[in-house]
Amino acid sequence: MTQAETPFQRIAGYAALWSLWLSRVVEGIVVVLMVLLVLDVWLGVMVRYFVDFPLTFTEEAARYLMIWMALLAVSIGIARREHIGVLILFDRLRGVPRHAMLALFDLLGLFLFGFLFYYGVGFAVEGAQRLTMIYAMPKSIPFSAVPVACLLACVQLLLVAVRDQAKLLAEPGREGVAQ
């Protein structure tokens, strides 16, 4: 016999769906950036070593593509709980201490990414005054990867915190973080 679903568990179900949807959207963006990065690096190698036609823009494009790709991927790791955590201690705890530790980890993550978002916005705004060497585009475009990625990380942390706390509450005998 199953228990009736509580309002918190219903909200957690929506949080899990939104987290999955957001993760899939970001995964698609990261895949596109990865394809562009591979093509860009391949083009750079080909024109540098096999054709006497140096294209200087490929190195700068690769750098900015890699930065955006790596930072966006952080929220994917958070959605899957594949980020760094103190799992050795967490796995040994049960009940209230386990809930508290999970909440503490999530709050620390929110604080960290919120802090980086706040200062990243200022950094990106200041970057609008400077231009990149090859493209002559405002540096705010590559610099904005930090606040965008941190905002996505905060949203994912909130969603998985609700999802996982509800999972711990729903399964008191088998308290495990949702995978």
Yes or no: say if 113 and 103 are a contact pair by the CB < 8 Å rule.
no
The Cα–Cα gap between 67 and 65 comes to 6
Return the half-sphere exposure (C-beta side, CA atoms, 13 A cut-off) of residue 4.
2
Residue by residue, pLDDT tens for the chain (179 residues) are 356 778 888 899 999 999 999 999 999 999 999 999 999 999 999 988 888 877 888 888 999 999 999 999 999 999 998 866 667 777 788 888 888 888 998 999 999 999 999 999 999 999 889 988 887 888 999 999 999 999 999 999 999 999 988 888 876 555 445 44
Domains in the chain: boundaries: 7-174
The maximal CA–CA distance of the chain, rounded, in angstroms, is 73
In sequence order, the 6+-apart residues with CB closer than 8 A to the CB of 154 are 110, 113, 114, 117
Q: How many residues does the chain have?
A: 179
Element (H, E) at 140: helix 140-143
Yes or no: say if 145 and 171 are a contact pair by the CB < 8 Å rule.
no
